Structure 1
Amino acid sequence: MAAEQPIPIYTNLTDLYANLGTSLNHAVRWNNLAEEFKRRFGRKPAYIARAPGRVNLIGEHIDYALFGVLPAAIERDILIACAPRPVPSSSTTVEPHHSPGSVIAENLHPKYTRQAFSPSQKSKDIGDDEVHVEGWHLDINTQELRWESYVKAGYFGVLNHYFAPMNASGGEADHPIPVDLLVTGSVPAGSGLSSSAAMVVASTLAFLAVNGKLDDQKGSFGAESRLSKGGLVKMAMENEKRVGVNSGGMDQAASVISNAGSALYITFFPALKALPIQLPPRSVFVCANSLVVADKVVGAKRGYNLRVVETLVGARVLAKVLGIDIGEKEKITLREVVGRLVGEKKGEEMDVGDLRRVLERMGKEVEALKPKGRAAGDNELGVTMDEMIDMSGLTPALFQEVYLSWVEVEATHFQLYKRAKHVYAEALRVLQFQESCLTTAESSNTSGGSSVLQNLGRLMNESQTSCAELFECSCPELNELTQLARQAGAFGSRLTGAGWGGCTVSLVAENEVDAFISRIRDTYAPYRGLEGEALSEVIFATRPSSGACVLKFD
């Protein structure tokens, strides 16, 4: 299983570059980062941690409902060079930059300023003059977007999984070491290509590596076990929540588990699994940045986090309508609803054919989520907070505890019907997309399979329509860019990532890529006049890349 494999640790660049792809000059970037680290900190790095961004080919906003998705890692990535900071023997820990676990973090991008921070340990008075140390703490501002917050988020997980509080082990504390970091990235921030998840994954890896936790692991203060790719995904998911995003896991899984040359079918129920999917021959995916910055943290209350709550509440209401038993405080997902509906055994996963049939059925069952008692002609399909609580069957206090106590949301109407309808239809499209790819691979079709590409393109177009009209996570610029892409010859085009801005992904025939990019440059107003590197920064073809790794220096 791909998720059970260890994190790759390379000691030479030849082996590492062979897994990254060929469209970018990786050697120059890695060497420049190492040299700049030496210039700034006076010594070469001990490690460089890498985590790629990802493009989601299809399956938007369904990972946190526990349905499978189909992303691919891209060659563009986040790199973090790191090394232990030597503390002079004459130094005392009263100097902040020499304190245990202190971090000096710099970024090659000039707009990001140098940051210095140190972890602390939370404690509370438990009486009789005793103090209990509960765990590590880092000050992360979830209200303001700051680059170092993602670095801190990765560090947080390493601290709390691998370093016991001072009084928890009964012996001398295992302190994290002081660290210097230098970050660079080629994944555009806010583009929908998952720069935030890549930053958190790379940060987690950097702190694991520099503290010696990749070679000799004792996570959560337990038995020794080397961290697997699946384990890193789960840790990175937990870590990203520290910046205020309730992530479903697709971004982290794609960044960590992907293999070069393949997309990745990732399922989350009943456990994380990843299956490489060979794409049809001569097919290329082109990413185009709408240049509308979309960060999940900034608009989370009305965007990403609101959608998480709407899908969870919709699942409860649907389970109630279908007569499915559900615990009073249980946050059942839309995937778990279909499993219980057909008697899926706990810990088992139904056959793909059975899942496809029940998803087709759910396209009709979701009609039960439409609000009742509305006047004729009322096109409002959402419900008020009071109506939603009443539909859930919970008391207001219990509803608040289960669905709102852990997240901030802001809305006058909650779109349970539209969100559930999108999720079930999108989950079905993922299975259909995967089936088309597998059929092509099994038939050894090397002709490019125009009919297959057309079918994949149709599914991508349907996904875009659903994202725009049912999940309402598109925007005018994304709608325009996908339409222009189809007119420019793409088989299909859709938003990728959380939406509300960021990138589109278009399926294009290999021999049409250059002409396609030229047509988009000439028709999408923000691109007009761009040439060379400036153009390649906003629109580029991508091949699937390998996942996260670490380069260890001698």
Structure 2
Amino acid sequence: MAAQASIPIFTNLNELYQNLGTSLNHASVSPHSERWNNLTEEYVKRFGRKPTYIARAPGRVNLIGEHIDYALFGAFPAAIEQDILIACGPRDTSSVPGGVVADNLLAKYARQEFAPSIVPKDLGVPDEHVHVEGWHLDIDTKKLRWESYVKAGYYGVLNRYFTSKGALPVPVDLLFTGTVPAGSGLSSSAAMVVASTLAFLAVNGKLDDSSALTKGELVEMAMQNEKRVGVNSGGLDQAASVICTTSSALYVTFFPHLFAQLIPLPPGAVFVCANTLVVSDKVVHARTRYNLRVVETLVAARVLARRLGVKLQEEAGGKRERVTLRVVLGRWVGETEETELGAEQLKAALEKMVEKMELLKPDNADGEEGVTLETMIEWSGLSKEEFTETYLSWVDVEATYFQLYKRAKHVFQEAALVLKFREVCLHAASAPDVDGREELGALMNASHASCRDLCDCSCPELNELTQLALDAGAYGSRLTGAAWGGCTVSLVAEDKVDEFIKKVQQGYAPFRELEGDSLKEVIFATKPSSGACVYKFED
């Protein structure tokens, strides 16, 4: 199983570059990659010695399956060549235990110095700070700061490996560089957290023995780490950044546990990512966008369960179950641990569930306005206090009307599209005479329509770019990532890529004056890249 594989550690740059794939433009099969060498040389200039490791984590493009991973349904991402690199090494042991100096090749990101402190478990700290397992690092979840992702990655390592008395992390110097554009929907935040987690693991010697983390364990740690910056991530981004390989995309699910299956893509299929240049920051807009979608789908699950007669449970201490749409679906069709739904059974159940979405429609004629908080509480069957404790006490959201019907319908429809996408890919891989690209394109188009109309996570620029892509000859095109800006992804024939990019450039006004590297940064073709890894410098 892909999630059980070990995290690659390389001591030979030729092997590392070959592992990254031949489509990369920043790392040829040569020990003299300019980008990696430049990072190493800069580390020496700034810290007076060579780094011990370079940790790498790629961004990802989600081919299909948006805003459904936190409802515990599967998605279909692939790692891309754009990545975060962190050169790292231990500092003089006379320094503050666990102290960190984090520097960045981009001048706009100022050097940061911080150290974790041990806080008694019974000592309260302000709500805006994170306080877990006795370790404390200041992370202001209301402001976006680049070092917050570094601290988030550090927390997981501290809590897993340094909870016993006397065990302290080593002081560390870090130097960052990255090619994943922030706010683009290509998961720069997950790449930062994964790479940071790997860097702290490596420097503290936690990747060197048989008890080292598997890829799946790293995904789970990174999922929890990213939540510390205020985003309730479902795990899709971290799984793609860690588990993917150069030859395949990834079908990844999180119910009843993490499962990752490498799926080959049809020959001749290339994906082109185009950045709208509209920045969508999950942290800044979480309360009205990303986190709000999480709460809407969770409440929709409770209301749907009650209206379908699906039993809900009380957790220990009288807490109410915060059930997900995937769990409701399983209970509705009688799924148990012994009778877990296979892909075909799940697809059939999803199609039946879509027909039940009328149960969530508001009383108003077209359902466009959604429901108020008061109505939502009434539908949940909980008291105001119980509802607040279950759905609002752990996350900050803001809305006048909550769209339970639309969000749930999107989740079930999108989950079914993912399974159909997987099915087409597997069929094309087993039957050489089957192309599959037109079918995949149609599924991508249907996904974009659902994201636009039901999840309401698109924007005018995303809609414009997807239409331009179809006009330029793409098989299919859709938004990718958390959206509200960021990137589109389009399925294009390999021999038509250059022509396709020129047509999109001419059609999209913000691209028309761009040339060379500036153009390549905003629209580029990619095949699946490999997941996270570590390069270890030999003594």
TM-score, normalised with respect to structure 2: 0.94
Say whether 1:16 aligns with 2:7: no
Q: What is residue 147 of structure 1 aligned with on the other side? A: 146
Trace 1:65-464 onto structure 2 (pairs within 5 A).
65-87=71-93, 98-123=95-120, 134-164=133-163, 166=165, 173-216=166-209, 225-328=211-314, 329-346=320-337, 349-372=340-363, 374=364, 376=365, 379-445=367-433, 449=435, 452-464=436-448
Q: Distance in 2 between matches of 1:381 and 1:392?
A: 18
Render the CA deviation track for 1:324-359: whole Å, top value 9, x for unaligned: 110141111111111111111137531211111111
2:201 counterpart letter in structure 1: L
Say whether 1:550 aligns with 2:534: yes
The CA deviation at 1:124 is: 5.3
Contact 1:270 1:347 in 2 (8 A): no
Q: What is residue 93 of structure 1 aligned with on the other side? A: none
Q: Distance in 1 between matches of 2:514 and 2:92?
A: 46
The CA deviation at 1:259 is: 1.1
Contact 1:187 1:193 in 2 (8 A): yes
Q: Distance in 2 between matches of 1:182 and 1:277?
A: 34
Give the match's secondary structure for 1:330: coil
Q: Distance in 1 between matches of 2:394 and 2:368?
A: 28
Q: Distance in 1 between matches of 2:69 and 2:34?
A: 35
Q: What is residue 452 of structure 2 aligned with on the other side? A: 468
Render the CA deviation track for 1:251-273: whole Å, top value 9, x for unaligned: 00000011112100001111111
Contact 1:461 1:494 in 2 (8 A): yes
Render the CA deviation track for 1:14-51: whole Å, top value 9, x for unaligned: 11101112331222211111111111111000000000
Contact 2:90 2:173 in 1 (8 A): yes
The CA deviation at 1:125 is: 6.1
1:478 counterpart letter in structure 2: L
TM-score, normalised with respect to structure 1: 0.92
Q: Distance in 1 between matches of 2:393 and 2:426?
A: 43
Q: Distance in 2 between matches of 1:79 and 1:254?
A: 16
Give the match's secondary structure for 2:271: strand
Q: Distance in 1 between matches of 2:231 and 2:333?
A: 32
Q: 1:200 to 1:124 in 2, by over 3 A?
A: closer
Q: Distance in 2 between matches of 1:379 and 1:164?
A: 51
Aligned match of 1:61 in 58, 67, 87?
67
Q: Distance in 2 between matches of 1:198 and 1:358?
A: 34
Aligned match of 1:523 in 498, 502, 507?
507
Q: 1:347 to 1:312 in 2, by over 3 A?
A: farther
* Aligned residues: CA RMSD: 1.4
Q: Distance in 1 between matches of 2:114 and 2:441?
A: 47
Aligned match of 1:49 in 25, 48, 55?
55
Structure 1 stretch displaced more, 348-357 or 110-119: 348-357
Q: What is residue 127 of structure 2 aligned with on the other side? A: none
Contact 1:381 1:417 in 2 (8 A): no
2:109 counterpart letter in structure 1: Y
Render the CA deviation track for 1:112-166: whole Å, top value 9, x for unaligned: 011000100111569xxxxxx9511110111111111000100011111110154
Render the CA deviation track for 1:348-391: whole Å, top value 9, x for unaligned: 5312111111111011111100013x3x5x55341000100010
Q: Distance in 2 between matches of 1:125 and 1:431?
A: 47
Render the CA deviation track for 1:392-437: whole Å, top value 9, x for unaligned: 1111100101111100000000000000000000000001111111
Q: 1:229 to 1:124 in 2, by over 3 A?
A: closer
Render the CA deviation track for 1:149-188: whole Å, top value 9, x for unaligned: 000100011111110154xxxxxx1111110000000100
Say whether 1:502 aligns with 2:497: no
Give the match's secondary structure for 2:101: strand
Contact 2:93 2:170 in 1 (8 A): no
Q: Distance in 1 between matches of 2:225 and 2:353?
A: 33
Q: Distance in 1 between matches of 2:194 and 2:119?
A: 25
Structure 1 stretch displaced more, 23-32 or 291-300: 23-32
2:163 counterpart letter in structure 1: A
Give the match's secondary structure for 2:208: coil
Q: Distance in 2 between matches of 1:332 and 1:235?
A: 22
Give the match's secondary structure for 2:149: helix
Give the match's secondary structure for 2:458: coil
Contact 2:133 2:159 in 1 (8 A): no
Q: Give unmatched runs, 5+ long, in structure 1.
A: 89-97, 127-132, 167-172, 218-224
Give the match's secondary structure for 1:243: coil
Q: Distance in 2 between matches of 1:48 and 1:324?
A: 50
The CA deviation at 1:216 is: 4.1
2:61 counterpart letter in structure 1: V
Q: What is residue 170 of structure 1 aligned with on the other side? A: none
Q: Distance in 2 between matches of 1:530 and 1:5?
A: 41
- Number of aligned residue pairs: 519
2:8 counterpart letter in structure 1: P
Q: 1:387 to 1:47 in 2, by over 3 A?
A: same
Render the CA deviation track for 1:519-553: whole Å, top value 9, x for unaligned: 11111000012111110000000010111010011
The CA deviation at 1:471 is: 0.3
Say whether 1:486 aligns with 2:470: yes
Contact 1:142 1:244 in 2 (8 A): yes
The CA deviation at 1:85 is: 0.5
Q: Distance in 2 between matches of 1:386 and 1:330?
A: 20
Q: Distance in 2 between matches of 1:392 and 1:475?
A: 31
Structure 1 stretch displaced more, 285-294 or 352-361: 352-361
Q: Distance in 1 between matches of 2:162 and 2:52?
A: 21
Give the match's secondary structure for 2:530: coil
Contact 2:57 2:194 in 1 (8 A): yes
Q: Distance in 1 between matches of 2:347 and 2:121?
A: 52
Structure 1 stretch displaced more, 54-63 or 15-24: 15-24
Q: Distance in 2 between matches of 1:196 and 1:495?
A: 18
The CA deviation at 1:87 is: 3.8
Contact 1:135 1:165 in 2 (8 A): no
Q: Distance in 1 between matches of 2:455 and 2:369?
A: 12
